[in-house]
């Protein structure tokens, strides 16, 4: 499942390439036809993320809310901007920009940027043919595209989301209000930490489950959950009310830093023991990125005990039974 850093990166990408532009909005799949008609021809005024939720606001004050869920992803085609503003950008996002043409003067190929659980850039030959024999722009939808946002130079296709709906501004505010603090959107990180500490320590639910509860803290998914708890050397099965407040606050502060790193780098790299060469190697090899996530049966990188995988609230939970007890 795409986690909080991915949705923030999607929001920044859409802000670069779609905000401020009148958009042709359609639903090639047909399942979002009514919502697409409501937004078609309108101008997107902002694209923001809170946790795993994306909110795209239009000049009518309508809000497109998207939750990617387990399998959702965005495909962007055309003149896709590299993420900038001083961020260190992955090579895939720093690829040369491609200026799309038209039906009568099209490019021979276009860039496709897939933004979901991972990010992949590729050069795609547009399959259609224009009047002069060249590939058409925009490229025809491929597969089950729930919604297409077309600015004329960039096309963003959404496929496989758990949620895709148009809300009023008030309805969108209600959704946001139900979410826990997100380090990237709060005004006061320390005050937000107080909220998280209170929401964890007053409940008897396992802390590993509470960290995945988006009403407690927004944006943490299965990978971040496993890694945050290992870095804190905390047993995920510990009831929240038995976790010291200072431990919860340390986890929150760790989440603040890890989320910022993920947004910057476009991947989840949680091992703080790596030097510069090790971090570079981990950027290219996912098996080097994590302490326990995805390492069931392999030796703990600290103590050598085999990492175990269990089920918590229908999701896989990875932990070291020696380090986290």
Q: How far apart are CA 63 and CA 65, in angstroms?
A: 6
Q: Same domain for 168 and 30?
A: yes
Catalytic residue among 114, 117, 315, 321: 315
Q: How far apart are CA 56 and CA 64, in angstroms?
A: 5
Q: Same domain for 153 and 290?
A: no
Q: Same domain for 90 and 220?
A: no
Closest CA to 207 of 188, 235, 187: 235
User: Residue 169: which CATH number?
Assistant: 3.20.190.10
Catalytic residue among 52, 111, 295, 319: 52
pLDDT of residue 90: 28
Range of the domain at 165: 4-175
Does the residue 324 lie in any domain?
no
Q: Same domain for 218 and 274?
A: yes
Listed residues 125, 158, 175: the one ending a domain: 175
- 228-273 pLDDT, tens digit per residue, is 999 999 999 999 999 999 999 999 999 999 999 999 999 999 999 9
Q: How far apart are CA 126 and CA 113, in angstroms?
A: 14
Cβ 289 vs Cβ 269: under 8 Å = yes
Is 315 an annotated catalytic residue? Answer: yes
- 54-110 pLDDT, tens digit per residue, is 999 999 999 999 999 988 999 999 888 887 543 332 222 222 233 333 333 333 345
Cβ 208 vs Cβ 229: under 8 Å = yes
Cβ 60 vs Cβ 83: under 8 Å = no
Backbone region of residue 186 per phi and psi (left: phi > 0; alpha: psi in -120 to 50; beta: other values): beta
How many domains are contained in the chain? 2
């Amino acid at each position: 499942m795409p986690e909080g850093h991915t949705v923030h990166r999607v929001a920044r990408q859409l802000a670069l390439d779609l905000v401020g532009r009148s958009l042709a909005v359609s639903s090639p799949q047909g399942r979002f036809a009514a919502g697409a008609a409501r937004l078609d021809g309108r101008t997107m005024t902002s694209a923001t993320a809170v946790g795993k939720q994306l909110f795209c606001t239009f000049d009518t004050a309508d809000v497109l809310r998207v939750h990617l869920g387990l399998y959702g992803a965005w495909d962007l085609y055309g003149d896709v901007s590299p993420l900038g503003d001083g961020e260190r950008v992955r090579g895939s996002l720093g690829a040369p920009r491609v200026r799309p043409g038209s039906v009568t003067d099209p490019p021979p190929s276009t860039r496709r940027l897939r933004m979901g659980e991972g990010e992949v850039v590729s050069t795609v030959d547009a399959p259609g043919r224009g009047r002069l024999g060249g590939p058409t722009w925009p490229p025809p939808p491929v597969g089950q595209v729930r919604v297409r946002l077309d600015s004329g130079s960039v096309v963003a296709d959404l496929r496989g989301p758990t949620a895709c709906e148009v809300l009023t501004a008030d309805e969108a505010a209600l959704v946001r209000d139900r979410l826990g603090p997100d380090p990237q959107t709060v005004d006061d990180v320390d005050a937000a930490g107080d909220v998280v500490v209170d929401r964890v320590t007053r409940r008897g639910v396992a802390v590993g489950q509470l960290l995945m509860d988006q009403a407690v803290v927004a944006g943490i998914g299965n990978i971040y959950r496993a890694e945050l708890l290992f870095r804190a050397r905390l047993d995920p099965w510990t009831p929240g009310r038995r976790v010291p407040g200072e431990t919860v606050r340390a986890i929150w502060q760790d989440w603040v830093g890890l989320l910022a790193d993920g947004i910057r780098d476009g991947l989840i790299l949680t091992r703080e023991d790596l030097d510069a060469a090790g971090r570079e190697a981990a950027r290219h090899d996912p098996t080097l990125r994590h302490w326990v996530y995805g390492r069931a049966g392999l030796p703990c990188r600290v103590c050598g005990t085999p990492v175990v995988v269990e089920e918590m609230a229908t999701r896989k939970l990875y932990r070291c039974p020696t380090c986290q007890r």
